[in-house]
Copies of this chain bind each other. A is one copy, B any other.
């Protein structure tokens, strides 16, 4: 970046104006966006879905290898994903940003450009925000507001015995990308003249730095009159998420290890790090794929969609939550679940 405008040179209101000047409002449900005490929305006969997510520097992202535009894009998309996970459509976001004066106005404009890019792609309006200083680093909180229909909202606690368990896309790629970035950072810290070698890692890096959310699936459901019996997005790893569904729905499950969708590049990268591909697919976070269950009667409607993979089925509660290996042995599913305070 050639210019550097200090945050201190603008007041809070001017900063909000600069960051939001390129916003475009697209949704009918957005009556008032930025510029008053509140945004005003009109959801008519739709239910209102709300979710909020925070990303903190040094915890969720590392400024060494996270371009700010990508960070903004990912923060927005990961929030949209929570709305899709209820079988809804994201419509508005508010952005709360707490940053030290180490950042310039131009840096925040980059961040906003990434958020705006995601909003344009997914049809979402920016309707509010707050920018304050922090003692150190950056904390970015996005709250997303979306719409759902009373009779098609998908909960976590409504999976039924014999339902099919499905997952979109492929798993473990974002985690594989993170491992590559962490390795290149370590190399760079040891010798800042080293150029990172990122050839042949494009797919896993893109999945880590610029993930996408499951808009297409919600449109596919609508078009084909499918209502998933339960759904959740995969932000903390498949193992953790399927346990949420099973525990909340009071059921068990069987997941077939050899059915887990894993991209070739993901397998190859995980192998470099001596991690079994299935382990990465089960425990790697941040893929933002959707995990859902459907009634068996809907099997015909999904079986030809190459991006939907049936990986198991819902069992009765007493059967527990099991992984089934190729050798037909079973293992209890355990959530690794990330603990920021312990694992970092």
User: Which residues of A approach B to under 8 Å, CB–CB?
Assistant: 6-8, 10-13, 31-32, 35-43, 47-60, 82-83, 85-86, 88, 92, 94-98, 101, 127-130, 132-137, 139, 141, 143, 145-146, 148, 150, 153, 155-157, 231-233, 248, 337-342, 344
Contact = CB atoms under 8 A, between A and B. Distances in A.
Contacts of A51: 37-39, 94, 128
How many copies altogether?
A: 2
B37 A133 contact: no
Nearest to A342: B8
Contacts of A340: 12, 132-133
Given A37-B233, A51-B94, A52-B143, 13 more contacts: A8-B339, A11-B337, A12-B337, A40-B49, A41-B48, A50-B94, A51-B128, A54-B98, A56-B133, A58-B134, A60-B132, A130-B141, A145-B145
A148 B8 CA distance: 36
B86 A36 contact: yes
B155 A32 contact: yes
B136 A139 contact: no
B136 A135 contact: yes
Contacts of A47: 31, 40-42
Nearest to A86: B38
B12 A339 contact: yes
Contact of A54 (B35, B38, B141): B141
Contacts of A52: 94-96, 128-130, 141, 143
A338 B14 CA distance: 12
